[in-house]
Structure formats: C-alpha cells, structure tokens
Amino acid sequence: MAGTPASLSGRDEGSFAYLTIKDRIPQILTKAIDTLHRHKNEFFEKHGEKGTEAEKKAISLLSKLRNELQTDKPIIPFVEKFVDTDIWNQYLEYQQSLLNENDGKPRWFYSPWLFVECYMYRRIHEAIIQSPPIDDFDVFKESKDQNFFESRESIIALCTHLQEVVRAIEDLDENQLKDEFFRLLQISLWGNKCDLSLSGGDTSSQKTNIINSLEELKPLILVNDMEHLWSLLTNCKKTREKASITRVDIVLDNSGFELVTDLVLADFLLSSQLATEIHFYGKMIPWFVSDVTIHDFNWLIEQMKESDDKCMSQCGAAWETYINMGRWVYQDHIFWTLPHEFCVMSQVAPGLYAELQKAHLILFKGDLNYRKLTGDRKWEFTVPFHQALNGFHPAPLCSIRTLKAEIQVGLRPGQAEQYMTSEPNWLTTGKYGVLQFDGPL
C-alpha cells in the first residue's frame, strides 16, 4: 500500500467520519433496539417464552455494543460461528498489526472509519444470530419497506415512463435511444439519495417525480462520463455476434426506490439490446440499514407484480420473467459485507473477482461501494480515479453515487475549491453526484 494516503477515521474530530461514529451509529443502534422491542409480542406469539428471551438477549447484546462504541472500548473479535467469522477475525488481527506496541488494541475512534462502520453492522448481525429463534430477523426490514411504500407515486411515474419507452423502442433512432439511456442513468444516480444510513434510519423516500427534475439536477453532476458508457455498450451491440452476450453487472446499494431505479435501467438495457444479460449483486446479511439482500430483491419484485397499478404490475411481471429466463441473475457473496477495500478482492475473493471479469461493464451503485473502490482514503480531489482504484480493474466500471462521505477523486483542478467555500458540507449531503468511469476509452 506504499504511496496511498491515510484512511479516513474518527480521530479527525469534527470530520464526517467522527460525527458518524459519535452520533449516527449510536442512533442507528438505538433504532435497532427499539425495533426489536416493538416486535416482542410478535416474537412471543411465534415462539413463546423462547422468543421473549431471544428478544431480551439481542437487545442486551446491542446495548452492550452501543456502550462499547460510546466509551471507545477496544474492538473485540467475533465469537459466533458464521461463514465469514474467521476472515473477520483475521482482519481484526491485521488492524492490530498496524498499531504500535504502545497503542494497545484497535478502537472505534482511532481505527479506519470504513473498518469500524462495517464492523458495527457485522456486530448487529452477530447479536441477532446469537439469539435464536429470532436469528433470521432483519432489524432494518421495516424501514426498507416503508421507503418503498412512501415512494409509490414516484415509482408509478417511473414505471409508466418505462412502459411507454419499451412499447416504442423499435421506433427510436440512435439519438433518442441515447437520450433515454442518459435519462435512466441519471434517475438511477439520483435514486441513490434514498439512503437510510445517512439519515440515521429516518425516512428518506422519493416523493417527487424525479423525471421532471433531471435538467435542473444536471449541473450537480461533478463527473459525468455517460458518453463513455454509451460508446462502450453501443460498440458491444454493433460488434456482437448473434449468439454472443453483452453482460452488464450492477453492484446494488439501497433497497426501496433506488432499487426500482436500478431495475428500470436494467430493463431498458435489455429492451434496447444494449445488453443481453444483467447480473445483480446484493448483500448476504442486513447491511448499512437500507442495502439490498435477496429477501429485499424478491420482496420488491413481488410487491410490484401484485400492485393495483397497471404499470407497476406489468414491470413486476416482466422482471420476474427476466429472472426465470436467466437474463437477470441475482448473486450475493460474503465479500460485499467484509471491511476490505476492493483492491484486495482478487486475493481475498478470487472467485468473485473472476466473476466480475466476465462483465463488459460493471456499475457500482452508491457511496459505500465508492469508499471501497477508492480505499476510503484522504486522496487529493484531482487524483485520477484509475489511480485511486489501486489496481482494481476487473472490467470497465462506473461508479454511480451521490456524495455522502468526505472522499472524491477525479475532479478538475479548482473544481472542489469552488464548492468548499460556499458549501462546507458539499461532500456529505447527497446533493452532488458522479457517474465516474474507468476503462479503455
């Protein structure tokens, strides 16, 4: 890692990392505890006294975790056996090895922010799996579902738009197709604003019709590489043999409205023949409040299919068909919920890296993926994206994120400075976005 800058961490008092560890994470833990408490009657009805005891145990473990964090106790190893326990504990030893002898153990405010934030969500999962028979309970499910239901009007508008485009797709010329591709990419970008971990688990649904806002939002895109994506995919389409495939992989972020925007984009990619196959990647365990798991993915498509709105149900039915045909493939892998930056994926998860290498294009949604792509480090704003990826180049890739962490690379000289003076929090509010490409031009 020679030559790479230091990690963002809570040791920088007043930084977004510091405020996340000090305020947002305890708030998220408190909400998780409240959620368990509100479900105690349901646990009792389902499991009797065992359910009541399990709820108490899970709450006790999460309360202990919150206390450890707030008093900056040492980070402790995982004890409950799970598929990733050994890898996690090895990583804790690695973090220990980076410290001087006088530093003691890794602690919440003095370790890399990416590591401690991932560790916290993994500890929530440990508290739940240590509490059978409620060991499959998702403490974030309610808020994810609420985000979907509260975004209903926006989802209807988006599905209506998609249905109109798909019906007319044969009649669109190349420029119209390109305009539509750019429109749906931008909708997927701004859909990333709906992030429940940023709001501490408070509602963050999409209540306005995003399609009508795209022109006024365009100046807020700090890096806009949509042209590169268009030329890559149209080139694939033109040179594709009849039997061959063009595969686009989407590494998902949030459930609810954002997932709908991603599925709408994926539908368009197939309908326009810019791609023939889409692979989605989600999380194996509940993660960062609103991240997509297989349960969220299937639940959302079922909700769409069963909707009383015609366009929503048509979309849901079409998406189920894509899955049944194998043209949409959902995959998860434990690597996505490890604390490792992506530059070590080829060593830590070589099978996943080899899978990504099969894609013609990989879209990485959201802020956590950007932090892992760039190592969550204190890069200069003008450092090229390719350099910050630190050797992670499985295939041409594009980050589609709204800014919610104090990291951004690949900006023009002077570009960051113009925001720093007028908007001190420009990096963390989700107001600005990037569609940032890395690959052969």
* Mean pLDDT along residues 371-388: 98
pLDDT digits (tens, 9 = 90+) for 161-181: 999 999 999 999 999 999 999
Q: How far apart are CA 30 and CA 63, in angstroms?
A: 8
Distances (CA, A) of 64 to 33, 71, 200, 251, 253: 11, 11, 19, 33, 28
Rg (CA), the chain: 22
What is the crossing angle of helices 49-70 and 113-129, to 10°? 160
Given a contact cutoff of 8 angstroms between Cβ atoms, the answer to whether 12 and 99 are in contact is: no
Quickly count helices (H) and strands (E) in the chain: 19, 7
Q: What is the mean pLDDT of residues 127-142?
A: 98
What pLDDT does residue 375 have?
98
- pLDDT tens digits, one per residue of 239-263: 988 779 999 999 999 999 999 999 9
What b-and-e string marks burial along 113-152, b requiring 16 or more CB atoms within 10 Å of the CB?
A: bbbbbbbbbbbbbbbbbebeebeebbbbbebbbebbebbb
Measured CA to CA, the distance from residue 20 to residue 33 in angstroms comes to: 18
pTM for this prediction? 0.97
Residue 1, pLDDT score:
46
Output b/e per residue, 387-404; b: 16+ Cβ within 10 A: ebbbebebbbbbbbbbbb
The band of 207, judged by pLDDT with boundaries at 50, 70 and 90, is: low
Question: Could you give the domains of the chain?
Answer: 16-130 (1.20.930.60), 141-438 (3.40.50.10880)
